[in-house]
Amino acid sequence: MERSNVTFVVEFILLGFSELPKLQNLLFGIFLIIYINILIGNGLLIVIIKMNPTLQTPMYFFLGNFSFLEICYSSVTLPRLLRDIWTQKGNILFLSCATQSCFLYILGAAECLFLAVMAYDRYVAICKPLYYPLIMNHKICVQLVIASWITGIPAQIGVTYYIFSLNFCGPNKLNHIFCDSSTVLEVACGDTYKKEVSLLVNTFIFVMIPFLLILISYFTIIATILKLPSTSGKSKAFSTCSSHLMVVCLFYGSGTITYFRSKSSHSGKSSKVLALFYTIVTPVLNPIIYSLRNKDVIAAMRKLLPK
């Protein structure tokens, strides 16, 4: 009887960029161009890797899968954002919000694991070159890819259910561009401390642990490269790692700032800008970074595309 007068939330309203009413058409055009570039750039990279025999190596096998992941990752948020800007309505059903958040976390965890696997691949190639064909055989590569895709699924579904099982009795406005669990927690009723802790633990496991593995891999790689006698050998070794390091810095830099900053430093504008970096900027720059800094990809592209 006491709960009969409480109105529970059945949908959320994503505010998006509603504070910029005069720029809606411009923003729609920018994000549409970015999404098309993500689809074409990463799709082209997948085709080039698949069709060129010289790129049938573990490094490019992982890169092809990573490019497909980037397409999926951006597709979770960008089509919905484009729809909201076009219709000037940010209404999203409770279940749709939970589903978007769940897929965002599943693919985000997969991206972190992929980056760790790619760092491990570079570690074996540079630090243990004689054992590289044995360690990174096709079967192991396939297993690492499958593990990267599915390892985070049970945990992310559990965390999403745990957070969205809270009571939401208003307000239902989310000052974000997509349904992010940390933003959803801000409008939940009652004590959310345990949920926030569970979200931080989940983030630490699937974000910080892979990041630490990446750091360990690259510290070992750098130490090995510095011991190489020839300058050309050092330069070649560094060039094979630089693209991956740039993507790691972009993705982890914005993601870490977003989820590990204090509540007092939270603001709607900063959250949106940082979210754009790890959900949109990284996927759109991924094919550019790997193409411009990789002679093998450039050579394969010249063979595939007309001059």
> In this predicted structure, what is the pLDDT of residue 291?
73
Evaluate whether residue 2 is within a structural domain.
no
CA distances from 112 to 77, 152, 174 (A): 18, 10, 26
Diameter of the chain measured on Cα atoms: 80
C-alpha span between 55 and 58 (Å, rounded): 9
Residue 4 has pLDDT above 60, yes or no: no
pTM over the 0.95 mark: no
Percent of the chain whose pLDDT exceeds 90: 37
Do 250 and 234 contact (CB within 8 A), yes or no? Answer: no
C-alpha span between 285 and 292 (Å, rounded): 10
Average pLDDT, integer, range 199-212: 87
Evaluate whether residue 38 is within a structural domain.
yes
**Tell me: the pLDDT tens digits for 251-269?**
887 666 666 554 544 556 7
C-alpha span between 98 and 164 (Å, rounded): 7
Average pLDDT, integer, range 155-178: 87
Residue 305 has pLDDT above 80, yes or no: no
Domain extent at residue 198: 11-304
- Token pair belonging to 256: 């870490």
Evaluate whether residue 70 is within a structural domain.
yes
Q: In terms of DSSP bridges, do strands 91-93 and 11-14 run parallel, antiparallel, or are they unpaired?
A: antiparallel
Q: How confident is the model at residue 123 (pLDDT cuts 50, 70, 90)?
A: very high
> In this predicted structure, what is the pLDDT of residue 5?
45
> In this predicted structure, what is the pLDDT of residue 293?
63
> In this predicted structure, what is the pLDDT of residue 141?
95
Q: What is the mean pLDDT of the chain?
A: 84
Torsions phi, psi for 116 (to 5 deg): -70, -40
**Tell me: the pLDDT tens digits for 239-250?**
778 788 888 888
CATH of the domain at 108: 1.20.1070.10
Q: How confident is the model at residue 54 (pLDDT cuts 50, 70, 90)?
A: confident
> In this predicted structure, what is the pLDDT of residue 255?
65
**Number of compact structural domains in the chain:** 1
**Tell me: the pLDDT tens digits for 65-120?**
999 999 999 999 999 999 999 988 889 998 999 999 999 999 999 999 999 999 99
Evaluate whether residue 134 is within a structural domain.
yes
Evaluate whether residue 4 is within a structural domain.
no
Evaluate whether residue 3 is within a structural domain.
no
C-alpha span between 150 and 153 (Å, rounded): 5
> In this predicted structure, what is the pLDDT of residue 8?
66
Of 89-93, 178-182, 227-231, which range is least confident? 227-231
Q: How confident is the model at residue 213 (pLDDT cuts 50, 70, 90)?
A: very high
Evaluate whether residue 5 is within a structural domain.
no
Of 2-16, 122-136, 142-156, 183-197, which range is least confident? 2-16
122-125 CB contacts, 8 Å cutoff, 24+ apart:
122/59, 122/217, 122/218, 122/221, 122/240, 122/241, 122/244, 123/217, 123/218, 123/220, 123/221, 125/59, 125/240
